Structure 1
């Protein structure tokens, strides 16, 4: 149909309803807030880099290192204490009456700093005794043991290094020792005695009595 102006056929004025889609289909447009709720956005977690891995390793590793060090120190300290105890072995106090009788080690009255130790095996038994006494009590002890001060020899230490080491004795400590050995026949004990007069009012006595089977 021609227009009044005669300019040609009339052009369609567009869709018959406003707001409609060009393709003729109604529906929500993307991002217009209609329809299902948009899915929550979760950022992608990237694997930690070398810095993160280093920090994690330090947080885990450092406490473990300290724990290991503490354990080793505690173990070494306990071992040192055990070694020191084993190196001494001596027990504070007098040997029993039975021990003194069997090993023929008479103890002087009022002896001080008395310590002793005993070992037993299928080959032999040994008693170690140390004590301090007085100049008057020493001759009595030696006589009861079967010897005398006259038998003591200056610089002679009858107690062997192995015997001394067993109980932590140091008989090369700078003191002058006087010694004697009592050899008894048969099954009687052999007794080694060492005396130091460095503290004249309190002579130090070391005794090792051994019974061989």
Structure 2
């Protein structure tokens, strides 16, 4: 009799643990779906960091400690684009450019490389009273090409605007 009660208790615990695991997994899956739906229905810059996977695919290595990070992704059968903006430090800018395959000396002062169409997509403007510098990092497909524009008006806190474009 005692053996049967123990067996019944073990079975009940196993069923309870399995059911609990199933319910937790279902809720996590549902939450993930809602997050993905919200992200895909976004119509402008989202005030958060892009996922590590997006940063890796689009080769946008945002330096740690960056602030005011926002991004937006567009995708169609022909191209995918990741728009990212962030504020960093002078050394953070150097790290970002180096990890992007460029350097500060490659920045062309007085110019921007983000096109008007791309800027309009996310509501960016590049007024002439700012200290702009820009470069384009070009790669062979399928690696992304990155148009990088930097506002150096405050050299201690440069604002970076990036459009990373891939062709699948």
TM-score, length of structure 2 as denominator length: 0.73
4+ long deviations beyond 6 Å: none
Matched, 1:184 2:139: yes
Q: CA deviation at 1:200?
A: 1.9
- Give secondary structure in 1 for the equivalent of 2:99: helix
Question: Hey, what does 2:151 align to over in structure 1?
Answer: 196
Distance of 1:131 and 1:154 partners within structure 2: 19
Question: Hey, what does 2:100 align to over in structure 1?
Answer: 145
Q: How many residues align?
A: 127
- Give secondary structure in 1 for the equivalent of 2:90: coil
Distance of 2:141 and 2:120 partners within structure 1: 27
CA contact (8 A) 2:141 2:167 kept: no
Question: Hey, what does 2:84 align to over in structure 1?
Answer: 129
Q: Give deviations 1:41-66, integer Å, cap 9, x for gaps.
A: xxxxxxxxxxxxxxxxxxxxxxxxxx
CA contact (8 A) 2:141 2:166 kept: no
CA contact (8 A) 2:45 2:70 kept: yes
Larger radius of gyration: 1
Point out which structure has higher relative CO (alpha carbons under 8 A, 6+ apart). Answer: 2
Work out which of the residue numbers 159, 164, 167 in structure 1 matches 2:122: 167
Matched, 1:113 2:74: no
**Gap runs ≥5 in structure 1:** 1-84
